[in-house]
Amino acid sequence: MRKNPVFLVVMALSVLAMLLSACAAPTAEPTAVPATEAPSTEPTMAPATEEAPTEAAAEPAEPIEIQFWHGQSQSQQEALGALIDEFNSSHPDIQVVATYQGTYSDLYSKVTAAIAAGTPPDLTIAYQNDVSNYVNSDAVIPLDDLMADPEIGFSDEDMNDIFPAFIDRYPQAGNQVYSIAFMRSMEVMYYNNDLLSAAGITEPPASWDDFMNACELVTKAPDVYCYEMNTDASRFANWIFSRGGDLLNEDGQTVAFDSQAGLDTLNFISDLFTNNYAIVIGQAYQDQTDFSLGKIAFAFGSSAGLPYYKQAIDEAAVVQDWGIAPSPHTTADPVVDLYGPSVAIFKTDDARQRAAFTFVKWLMDNEPNSEWVQATAYFPARQSTKDQLSGFIAENALYGDAYSWLPYGRTEPTIAAWNPIRSIIADAMTAVANGVQTPEEALNDAVTKANDTIANQ
């Protein structure tokens, strides 16, 4: 059907009006601010040109907090706390929280309970036989990969600088490293030079024959004895080492002191007591007291006892000239037993384990380690730390002497059974000293019991 011309004109005018209306400026209200955004309290000017929005700055990552359990008390706890404060200040991405857990026995019990509950700390100080138990519980990590890590590990220079006795390998766990140490003490021989000089002896005995000859000359029983024996397995260990022997076979499955070195050590003890050159310690630290009173010529013990020996000697004011030396030996070089706790890292996650290792490595660095040494009289992990201890060594000459023996250091077995074996050895020493068993009988008995203990651990 054809359209009316008038109708077509009206329609054209209507379309034109609609087009003109669409080109006009808007008069609608501005869009309201969404309720989830806080409106600005200050008016803002529109930018001359429109810019792409920028992303908000990323929030800094929270520091990794690691839990460190230890058994350091009194002045050692204060010194450790000061070091941790230093570390936390210089490592804002890692924060160490230290907790004192009592004696090492208490610490071991609490760690064992925490492992069973699935809530162990990130790292702990522990003796190696305790660490071996943690290894058997699959609770701690081997440190070999972290030590070799190109970012946080030890360089070749570091490894050449660190004394080998500060790195613990575990023969029953593939000889992997499961703990490392920032402190050690040393088995040394304390000698009373007043008594030696009076007997015509000009230097401390360097061989076991010399030691026995000195005993014959200085003993004036019952007033003065050559030696007061503390029946501790660390004495036995050093005497075995100094005769070229060992305590454990390479596979960690049997003891190695069923040897001539083991028999010679027990024969030595038998000779001392048969000839009335020695007595057995009556109570803890009695040898230290009697040494300070000039009642014995020799004592064997930890270098960490140096400050206490000095204090006792100064207070008693009897002994004028005294010193320390390595144990007598038949080996070409002296041998010293280096002992003390190490640090183990528990299984958590990669970031926490790396943070824990970073802290332990820092404790072994020269500056923090030298601070620890000066507060505790322990030895540091690195040879180069000695350069930072010149003032301390100048004031503590005997400590400086002992430092020079660190390259001769050896360590006791890192197996879980070593703790009960220590008691077996102490019993053997006591039996020989009291004449209850011959050296041969005591040795055979100790070896059998020790091997049974390893087999049943």
Q: Is the pLDDT of residue 422 over 50?
A: yes
- Report the alpha-carbon angle 103-231-447, nearest 5: 100
Confirm if 311 and 184 have CB atoms less than 8 A apart.
no
Name the nearest CA neighbour of 173 among 255, 253, 119: 253
- CATH fit for domain 186-338+417-455, picks 3.40.250.10, 3.30.365.10, 3.30.565.10, 3.40.190.10: 3.40.190.10
> pLDDT tens digits for 307-332?
999 999 999 999 999 999 999 999 99
- What is the per-residue pLDDT for 58? 52
Mean pLDDT of 226-236: 96
- Sorted by sequence, the CB contacts under 8 Å of residue 311 that are 6+ apart come out as none
- The CATH superfamily assigned to 64-184+340-410 is Periplasmic binding protein-like II (3.40.190.10)
* Mean pLDDT for the stretch of residues 11-38: 37
Task: Report whether pLDDT(43) > 80.
Answer: no
Q: Across residues 253-275, what is the average pLDDT?
A: 98
- Residue 345 pairs in a beta bridge with 123
Q: What is the pLDDT of residues 156-200, one digit of tens each?
A: 999 999 999 999 999 999 999 999 999 999 999 999 999 999 999
Taking residues 105-126, what's their average pLDDT?
Answer: 97
Residue 394's pLDDT is 95
pLDDT in tens, 425-453: 999 999 999 999 999 999 999 999 999 99
CA 373 to chain centre: 13
Q: Where are the domains of the chain?
A: 64-184+340-410, 186-338+417-455
Write the pLDDT tens digit of every residue in 83-113.
Answer: 999 999 999 999 999 999 999 999 999 999 9
User: Maximum distance among all alpha carbons in the chain?
Assistant: 149
Least confident of 268-272, 304-308, 423-427: 304-308
- How far CA 218 is from CA of 126, 147, 230, 310, 395, in Å, comes to 40, 50, 19, 22, 30
Calculate mean pLDDT across residues 252-269: 97
Q: Single out the residue of 128, 111, 140 nearest to residue 167, CA to CA.
A: 128
Would you put residue 419 in left (φ > 0), alpha (ψ -120 to 50) or beta?
alpha
Q: Do 64-184+340-410 and 186-338+417-455 come out as alike in CATH topology? A: yes
Residue 59 pLDDT level (bands cut at 50, 70, 90): low
Give me 137's structure tokens: 């519980």
Q: Which of 41-55, 69-83, 163-177 has the lowest mean pLDDT?
A: 41-55
Residues whose CB falls within 8 Å of the CB of residue 17, separated by 6 or more in sequence, listed in order: none
Q: What percent of the chain has pLDDT over 70?
A: 87
pTM: 0.84
Q: Does the CA dihedral 407-424-135-84 come out positive or negative? A: negative
- What would the mean pLDDT of 388-412 be, rounded to a whole number? 95
Q: Which residue has the tokens 């030079």?
A: 193
Residue-level pLDDT at 457: 84
Report the percent of the chain where pLDDT is more than 90.
86
Mean pLDDT of 377-390: 95
